Structure 1
């Protein structure tokens, strides 16, 4: 529906007609239109966590793994970005995203009692959100490696800024 209408203009009636579910069923599962987006993100996060648990990863592979996972879903991400829904969606769930990422075992992360990794991930997610929104909103490259390189550049800049 986002291909043809603004999110604000889509009605619950349209959603129920399109989905084939009754209004009552819709409200049983979703309290609002944004709840549908929230549920979609939760499913993607779960799939992403499963994907990463099966991929041997080095720190320099983070953005490549992220883009390789995201690339098959790029049309949905483009629609979210162009309707100004991507950044609000991700920021609404930033702590859940960070917790999901922290649950993924990686060889370079040491066990720590402090919030060092949590804060670094929150900071990184914020930067990635804005960068992805810009990339997917403006002109999506044909090659996912271009996005991965842009993310790596952003990650190096974040690391540089954090080490200042």
Structure 2
């Protein structure tokens, strides 16, 4: 096994341990000792990769963001597919997202990375973004949108989740279509 695989395996073990512990403990009460026992790795390994429990969440988030970027690059994007694609990508992790929301960790996690999210989304070529336009204006719109989306996700995942991801994406698309209709009337 390569060194990178070993490092990734250890980091993943700590993330798994953290989410396992979050099912029964408050984030603030989880100790390094609990994380090392649950992960099967030493305290020394923990400190080699993480300076805090928050760093575990950050590492995991950036890994998922990279995967989401790859997902977006895999097929052409249409505006009406955005919410469906996002929810479908997120759904396999919905139990983790719900734990983060219920422990009031989701919004702080997303806001710590808001500029990385915006830059990642700006990096994706989409037909509706003008090619020679100043990306700064899109950056601000994306930041604004992400802020609202963070609050929306937090609200959805704190409440009782629908059984199917389509219910969420359909509700989002319906609301967005209504907003666009009202904007176009003006």
TM over 0.5, yes or no? Answer: yes
Q: What is the total number of aligned residue pairs between the two structures?
A: 162
The one of the two structures with greater contact order (alpha-carbon pairs below 8 A, sep at least 6) is: 1
Hey, what's the Cα distance between the residues in 2 that align with 1:46 and 1:78? 21
Instruction: Please tell me whether the aligned partners of residues 122 and 135 of structure 2 are also in contact (alpha carbons under 8 angstroms).
Output: no
Instruction: Please tell me whether the aligned partners of residues 63 and 148 of structure 1 are also in contact (alpha carbons under 8 angstroms).
Output: yes
Gaps of 5+ in 1: none
Gaps of 5+ in 2: 1-20
Tell me the residue number matched to 1:88: 108
- Secondary structure of the 2:76 match is coil
Q: Post-superposition shift, 1:159?
A: 9.9
Quick check: 1:122 aligned with 2:134? Answer: no
TM-score of the pair, normalised by structure 2 = 0.81
- 1:1-164 equivalences under 5 Å are 1-111=21-131, 112-153=133-174, 155=176, 157=179
Aligned-pair Cα RMSD in Å = 1.9
Q: Post-superposition shift, 1:155?
A: 4.3
- Secondary structure of the 1:142 match is coil
The 1:160–1:33 alpha-carbon spacing in structure 2 relative to 1, beyond 3 Å, is farther
Hey, what's the Cα distance between the residues in 1 that align with 2:154 and 2:69? 21
Larger radius of gyration: 2
More helix by share: 2
Hey, what's the Cα distance between the residues in 2 that align with 1:160 and 1:90? 29
Q: Post-superposition shift, 1:132?
A: 0.6
